[in-house]
Structure 1
Amino acid sequence: MGHESRAPEPAQGESSNAGTPDTTRQNTLGEFLVAMRARLTPEDVGLRTSTTGRRRTPGLRRQEVAELAAVSIDWYIRLEQGRVGAPGTGVLDAIGEALRLNSAEREYLHLTARGETPPRPLPGSRAEVTASLRAVLDGMPLLPAYVVDHCFDVLAHNAAAAAMFGEDFGAGPAANTALLLFLEPQCRRTQLSWEQIARETVGALRANFARYPDDPRLHSVVATLRARSPEFAGWWEDHTVDERTRGVKLVLHPTAGLLTVAYDMLAAGGDTGQRIMVLTPVDAPTEQRLRALVGAAHHAASIRQRIQLPVRHGHHQPVGHQTR
């Protein structure tokens, strides 16, 4: 391969001694680029194997990425090592194209390399759910729906969500759907699509980690999951970025039985990082079971209200929460 490719002129703050990202961002960017190189073969990007020589490690070489992106090999090495400042958007797009990144991965690359993140909540704060958003939740009495933030903390939910997930949903151990998904054994048994949903959750947390790199709550959630869940720790190191907003999952509810639901993750608007998760039955049996489940929960709540009994938290087994 030729070495005639030249690195582009550095953008403002792109020199090695100006505008340098913090150590965490540098390490994250380098690890991400290495992981993205490792998943490709020369054939994937149109290179002939005969020209690449014998390979001791899988994936593309740095020189191959540099040539595909039309930058110098020395500059690309320094980029992976975190020894350049914020690259220009054009060169990042070229690298993204060379590494065959999808849209979520491209956004992640820009966020980690340039430090351009959207406004984020103040450390330790939880953005308020507006009255209009709560009205939207309550306006779907037969569809389980809830609001999560960028850490997957549950901020609000409707009665149908409580009927499906248990009366303690959004409180105590059930206050964060990512922690619940990975650390609650019952979720693995009831969530028949567990690995699919779990991998999507890791990818979404990885994307949010780039958007909110200084958020202590997000760091705490990720650190807890890496320490306590071998699956999460392994998938986190893959540097997969995934922001899937819809799909179908199967839940084996402890009382209602099999529920086949479509999930849609909707942006709540503004720059709060809030998302609305709505679960919709995809077949008539699931619709009937959900209707019966919600009706039974409403009836039980009415009885408690009449005789003024306190809610007994935790008497429902947690089911497979959709964290995305």
Structure 2
Amino acid sequence: MIGSMTERVPSPQAELAAFLRAKRARLQPEDVGLPRGPRRRTPGLRRQEVAQLAAVSVEWYVRLEQGRVGTPGSAVLDALAEALHLTPDEHRHLHLIARRETPVRPATRPPHTLVRDSLRQLLDGIPLFPAYLTDHRLDVLAHNPAARALFGPGFGTGATDNTARMLFLDPATRTTQLDWPRVARETVGHLRTAAAHHPDDPRLTALLTELRSHSTEFTLWWDDHTVLDRATGTKRVRHPEAGDLRLHYDILTTGPHRLFTLTPADPATDRALRHLVTTHTAALTTTHTTTVRPITAA
């Protein structure tokens, strides 16, 4: 009898996988600031939604829930704890079953807030110029149809849900940024400033780890301690339909959010951008009815 009971004790990987599945199943998209979407059959959150919230790859998280991953790092566990809205006790338990240790400082989940209606109206009220909203991590929280016309219909989702990840890890984005070294280095400086202001943010830590692991340029510039809190500038973007565009960018801070606006820097860009936006906005608006999603702001 004792032998049969021992055989049923799950492995640490299986115990961790079961714990994550249970905590994922108890949450609904609206609990974590995500749209529900049509034809939803999955009880609780989808795996890709947890991966998005924790800033980890979907493939890795799927393997984690299948018990096919080694020992996750502490920062990743902290990010998962925040994504799954774990209590302090659950957060400690997560570290115990995954790493057989307690976290140095149990993460506390920041208050749940929404993008203000006034910011949504502001974005939608700028029809001709691309505009989008981020947090200090550079996660894309909201954007207008003009931003989708410039950056593509998937902007703000998947690999393009964070502008730093876009710049360093998405080859297509890199080819469109004609001033990539300067813009990318500015982005590193921004993230270093953000890290100083938010040293205990597990999602920011996970993003920095991901960028350092996959980009030699990011690692080089991070290690030289570039610091920058940029507010305005000019950059050149190559668009497959509109051609080369010269754009001013302005970054306005409002509470925990940053509003990015892109405006023409010369008459030729003004004509090309207006034609691009007016051509694409109607179709993009039809296929993407929601431009702003609720967020958790730290």
TM-score by length of 2: 0.58
- For the pair 1:291 / 2:274, whether they are aligned, the reply is yes
Flag structure 2 segments of 5+ consecutive residues without an equivalent.
1-106, 289-298
Residues 122 and 259 of structure 1: CA distance in aligned 2, closer, same or farther (over 3 Å): farther
In structure 1, distance between residues paired with 2:208 and 2:111: 17
- For the pair 1:167 / 2:153, whether they are aligned, the reply is yes
Structure 1 residue aligned with 2:123: 137
Residues 203 and 123 of structure 1: CA distance in aligned 2, closer, same or farther (over 3 Å): farther
In structure 2, distance between residues paired with 1:290 and 1:191: 16
* 1:81-160 superposed matches below 5 A: 123=109, 127-160=113-146
Identity, in percent, stands at 49
1:202 maps to amino acid: V
Residues 297 and 166 of structure 1: CA distance in aligned 2, closer, same or farther (over 3 Å): same
> Secondary structure of 1:167's match?
coil
Q: Any idea what the Cα deviations from partners look like across 1:105-132, whole Å, max 9, x if unmatched?
A: xxxxxxxxxxxxxxxx964777521000
Residues 126 and 257 of structure 1: CA distance in aligned 2, closer, same or farther (over 3 Å): farther
Structure 2 residue aligned with 1:244: 230
C-alpha contact 1:226 1:232 (8 A) present in aligned 2 = yes
1:290 maps to amino acid: L
Structure 2 residue aligned with 1:39: none
Residues 281 and 291 of structure 1: CA distance in aligned 2, closer, same or farther (over 3 Å): same
> Secondary structure of 1:142's match?
coil
> Secondary structure of 2:249's match?
strand
Structure 1 residue aligned with 2:163: 177
C-alpha contact 1:193 1:249 (8 A) present in aligned 2 = yes
In structure 2, distance between residues paired with 1:244 and 1:130: 24
C-alpha contact 1:123 1:217 (8 A) present in aligned 2 = no
Structure 2 residue aligned with 1:200: 186
Q: 1:217 offset after TM fit, Å? A: 0.6
Which of the residues 242, 260, 266 maps onto 2:252?
Answer: 266
In structure 2, distance between residues paired with 1:225 and 1:169: 19
In structure 2, distance between residues paired with 1:176 and 1:299: 25
Q: 1:141 offset after TM fit, Å? A: 0.6
In structure 1, distance between residues paired with 2:108 and 2:157: 22
In structure 2, distance between residues paired with 1:242 and 1:219: 18
Which of the residues 251, 255, 265 maps onto 1:282?
Answer: 265
C-alpha contact 2:145 2:284 (8 A) present in aligned 1 = no
1:286 maps to amino acid: T
Query: How many pairs align?
Result: 182
In structure 2, distance between residues paired with 1:139 and 1:265: 17
Q: 1:220 offset after TM fit, Å? A: 0.7
In structure 1, distance between residues paired with 2:155 and 2:127: 16
Q: Any idea what the Cα deviations from partners look like across 1:32-82, whole Å, max 9, x if unmatched?
A: xxxxxxxxxxxxxxxxxxxxxxxxxxxxxxxxxxxxxxxxxxxxxxxxxxx
C-alpha contact 1:151 1:218 (8 A) present in aligned 2 = yes
- For the pair 1:300 / 2:291, whether they are aligned, the reply is no
In structure 2, distance between residues paired with 1:148 and 1:169: 12
1:255 maps to amino acid: E
Structure 1 residue aligned with 2:292: none
Q: 1:255 offset after TM fit, Å? A: 1.1
Structure 2 residue aligned with 1:3: none
- For the pair 1:223 / 2:209, whether they are aligned, the reply is yes
> Secondary structure of 2:156's match?
coil
Residues 170 and 262 of structure 1: CA distance in aligned 2, closer, same or farther (over 3 Å): same
C-alpha contact 1:124 1:216 (8 A) present in aligned 2 = no
1:280 maps to amino acid: T
Structure 1 residue aligned with 2:26: none
C-alpha contact 1:147 1:275 (8 A) present in aligned 2 = yes
> Secondary structure of 2:229's match?
coil
In structure 1, distance between residues paired with 2:111 and 2:211: 21
